Amino acid sequence: MAGRFLTLDSASAERYSPRVACPDDQELLAMLERSMNPTLFGELEQHIDSCASCRKAVAALAKGSLPQHAVAPFEELDHELAPGATIDDRYVVSRELGRGGMGTVYLAHDPTLGRDVAIKLHRAGSSADRLQREAVAMAKLAHPNVVNVFEVATVDDRIYVAMEYVRGTTLRGWIAQSPRSWREIVAMITACGRGLAAAHAAGLVHRDFKPENVLVGDDGRPRVGDFGLARADHAAMVADFAMLTTADTMTAGVAGTPAYMAPEQMNGDPVDARSDQFAFCIAAWESLYGKRPFAGTTLALLHAAIEAHELVVPKATPAVPDRVHAVIARGLAHSPSDRFPDMTALLTALDRAARPRHIRNTAAVVVGLAVLGGGSALAAHAVSDQRHAATCDAAAAQMRDKFSLVDHTRLASAMVATGVPYAQSSIDHAIPVLDRTAAFLADQAISVCQDATLTPHARDVRTTCLASRGAGFASVVDQLEHGDATVVRNAPDSAWALYDPTPCSEGPIGAPPMSLALAKRIGDLHALIASQRVKDAIATGTALLADARAQHDTAAETQIALSLAGVQDEVEPGSGVASFNAAEAAAETQGRDLEAASALAGLAADAGTGPVPNFAQAHHDLELAHAKLTRVGGNTALEAKLAQIEAEVLVYENRFGDAERAMRKSLDLAEKLFGADHPIVGGAYGTLSQIVDAEGKHAEQLADAQKAFDILRAAYGDVHPQVATATGNLSVAYRANDRLDDARRELLAADRMYEQLYGPNHPAHAITAANLGSIEMRAGNWAAARTAMERSKAIWSKVAGPMSPPVAGIDRDLGDTLQMLGDHDGAIASDREAVTIYEQLGADGTVRLGPALDDLCEQLLVVKRYADCRPMAERALAMLEAKPADANPQELADARLMVAKVLWETHGDHAKARALARSAVATGVEPDRKQLATDWLAAHR
């Protein structure tokens, strides 16, 4: 019988009908030795899956009858793939990552989505139906701590699973990389447990949890993998035990997988989520103590130790608290009913056990000494200290519990349920930031509670401030849990908007704190703003401001008016002026210099960068804001904001050198306060790159644009509006440095992001098309440039109107392109259309009309229509020189050179022409434009 199975050829296997009878010991041993045809192995595996007596027989055979030498794997019946091969005409194989009895894992590239993936290609005949069911179930599970499954399909009768490729190491490798404190290890293992809990909630049981099946990415986030995709249900033990004596799976005398088995799994009994809990606790124990909890150099000895529940704690152990030890030990109970009800309960207990304890053991000793010495007052004081410490611990716990482990799983499940394609990325990038905010709020709660130097008034003010922040945090979490696709997309923004590492300030002495009820409602308002629900925020803020005024709560009024002004300005620049003025007036009433400085910052931005800039007013507001900050001793966050506003105003004034210095100051302050990974810092690098671009410092521009991109992608994920913007900005920097292939690649990547985020008819596509046209112009690909420009113009005409400023801007670029293609009439018509649009826009078009006239004049010069060009050139120069402080230096230089050219060609004043050209050389900023003026001077003596 055994011989027939072992020698059966493939033709006979196809005719072989499913067996009903149980396999005998010879057949079972052949399975354990992995010397059986895989087709029959899969068939018997399915039988054992449904047969309790066979499962027990396999368990007994594995423990007592396995040969004491490494057994041979299945014969290589499936051709393995070389680098460059494709899977399913889509995935391009890069290299092999590993192999096992059930198949091979490859690193492959998905050119469609531009990402690397791990492909698990199973061997033919390996229980296809079961693997398909399990893989599909895994694909539905999305969680930050679970390896993401992208696709499940079949090719050449072999199941393959396309999964997230995690660059990093295993949990065991992470432990070995460097010394870890017990708190670091508990935090890491807890994150792994969240992945298991999410799988259990989805109806999946891992059955093979161990450190090797946890991948810790370079980002420090662990992902649990191999959720039974290669093995399933109770038959999994067959494959596990077959590995028992294989040399490369030995650890301390026992193979890795059996060493993590729960007693019921080792005995062949049914397993459930509590069996995973047992394996999890073995991994946790091993991670903390360096050795597994049950000793045994053979499977039989290991089994006996587990049955006797003989836990072994190494003598030289880290200072793992007993409370943490007790939680893990309960998860290792022999009977599943004695363990925690589920992983969530275990993780909650572990989280509580790992929290800092602020009640010191010495307190009890002090009490004892006081009683012995007759010092009853000292004893009472010690007891009071204990109670106060407990109160502070409770305050911190209350803040921390606003985002518990249970919330993680619930929030992730709700966001995935929206069906948004980028939900997983939003989860990955929002939850860690929410954790950071919860931890900061908890630390602040302890700090305020324990600070004995605070006056009662200061304590009330700071406690109320923390209550407001806590309410805002809870509101954001609630919105994310019940939000639509837009809320899910903006989840990382909402999380980062909440993260404020500045402690609550005391405020002016004697000023009453705002009411707690209003403070919590302000927190809800901040949550709406953080979630970018602009209309709701304006409506809520307006009503809340009326309530604060009715209650004569000036502190609340100031905060609400500041928040309302900011969101109003986002909707329409300049519309927040009235609210900023109201906020400043309310702040001045109570001597709240910090809030007054915030209001002045907003007013300065509106004055200096609005539709009709008032630079003098902007600088006055900035100086006044700095004076108020000096009076309160400074505030890093607001100082960084003031420096950025100053930089933006200076850009509008075309004072790029001063703008760069102000922006670098803002960047330094922001990086010190928020950390190098905060999106505010990424945005600051992006602004700096644009400023140095205007100065012609293109190498610095590229470096700053790259930093902006790296920070924002790490903060928001691969697909996000700000990441798309940073990608486009990086493309511009590459173009400025004549790295045109890189510029084109990044720009197309940005366009793909916009397609995913907004669909095909969004203005963002018009911007990327115009920039692509600029790249092709620089490369001399004039036909491609024309196609890109015409696409941009068509989109802008549809979304902004045919007589809009964006259409005029495209017409100007299109004119240059048509000129290079030899279509001079088309070039003149295109530039004339741009001039017409700017003229019809009135004051809104004035700032661009001068340069547009110069463009048209340039086209007329090409066809030697000098007389037609001269009045346009002189008009353009007059417009720019009327307000030289407001003019862009390079545009002013170009206008002067243009008048010089037409004067010369129309036999005008040659001396004046050369003087204008010399001024163009002195005024110009861009090196290539300065060179044009220099060359003209050399040719026209």
Q: Give the catalytic positions in this structure.
A: 208
| Closest to 172 measured CA to CA, from 143, 209, 213, 206 | 213
Using N-to-C axis directions, what is the helix angle for 38-49 and 128-140, rounded to 10°? Answer: 70
CA 522 – CA 465 distance, rounded (Å): 10
DSSP state of 22: P
- Report the 10 Å Cβ neighbour count for 94: 16
Residue with tokens 């017990």, as numbered in its chain: 182
Strands, sheet with 214-217, edge to edge from the N-terminal-most edge strand: 168-170, 214-217, 222-224
CA 431 – CA 354 distance, rounded (Å): 20
CA 754 – CA 387 distance, rounded (Å): 56
Q: How far is CA 498 from CA 273, 300, 531, 639, 785, in A?
A: 36, 55, 10, 19, 43
- Report the 10 Å Cβ neighbour count for 445: 24
Cβ(332)–Cβ(286) below 8 Å: no
Cβ(258)–Cβ(298) below 8 Å: no
- Report the 10 Å Cβ neighbour count for 501: 14
| Closest to 426 measured CA to CA, from 719, 724, 722 | 719
| Closest to 428 measured CA to CA, from 188, 713, 711 | 713
Task: Specify the 3-state DSSP secondary structure of 717.
Answer: coil
Q: What is the 3-state secondary structure (H, E, C) of 335-378?
A: CHHHCCCCHHHHHHHHHHHHCCCCCCCHHHHHHHHHHHCCCHHH
CA 764 – CA 751 distance, rounded (Å): 8
CA 715 – CA 682 distance, rounded (Å): 9
Cβ(258)–Cβ(240) below 8 Å: yes
Cβ(898)–Cβ(858) below 8 Å: yes
Cβ(230)–Cβ(236) below 8 Å: no
* Assigned token pair, 699: 């190498």
Radius of gyration of the chain (CA): 35
CA 84 – CA 93 distance, rounded (Å): 5
- Taking the alpha carbons of 688, 691, 695, 696 in that order, is the dihedral positive or negative? positive
What are the DSSP calls for 97-117, one per residue?
EEEETTEEEEEEEETTTTEEE
Task: Specify the 3-state DSSP secondary structure of 509.
Answer: coil
Distance of CA 941 to the CA centre of its chain: 60
DSSP state of 612: S
DSSP state of 23: P
CA 415 – CA 67 distance, rounded (Å): 51
Q: What is the 3-state secondary structure (H, E, C) of 722-740?
A: HHHHHHHHHHHHHHHCCCH
The residues, ordered by sequence, that sit 6+ positions from 542 with a Cβ below 8 Å of its Cβ are 564
Cβ(805)–Cβ(845) below 8 Å: yes
Burial class (CB in 10 A: 0-12, 13-18, 19+), 667: buried
* Assigned token pair, 170: 């295993």
* Assigned token pair, 399: 């803040």
Cβ(111)–Cβ(98) below 8 Å: no
* Assigned token pair, 512: 């009453």
